[in-house]
Amino acid sequence: MTPDAQEHLWICHNASSRNARFTPASEIGRIVPVPTAQVTKCAFGAPDLQIHSTKTLPARA
């Protein structure tokens, strides 16, 4: 989990291939598909927190 600059909470869904953004009212505001099942972490960078980074595990053989 990580907050963004607008005070929304981002949650990575491991085994669901997505990141979800929750509003301060706890509603899903956005879903971002990720092209892998092993999503492990999301984070924001840059001084204004405008760069979104998603970490993943390698695909299982």
pLDDT tens-digit profile of 6-56? 899 999 988 888 999 999 999 999 999 988 878 888 888 888 888 878 888
Give the count of domains, the chain.
Answer: 1
> What is the model's pLDDT at position 30?
94
Contacts of the segment 28-33: beta carbons below 8 A, 24+ positions apart: none
What six digits make up the tokens of 50? 């405008």
Q: Is residue 28 part of a domain?
A: yes
CA 7 to chain centre: 14
Residue in 2, 5, 20, 15 with CA at minimum distance from that of residue 56: 15
Q: Is residue 57 part of a domain?
A: no
Q: Rounded to two decimals, what is the model's pTM?
A: 0.78
The range of the structural domain enclosing residue 41 comes to: 2-49
Residue 37 lies in a domain: yes
Pick from 59, 24, 26, 21: nearest CA to 42 = 21
**Is the predicted pLDDT of residue 61 greater than 60, yes or no?**
no
Round to whole Å and give the CA distance between 20 and 60.
23
Q: Is residue 18 one of the residues assigned to a domain?
A: yes
What is the predicted pLDDT for the residue at 36? 84
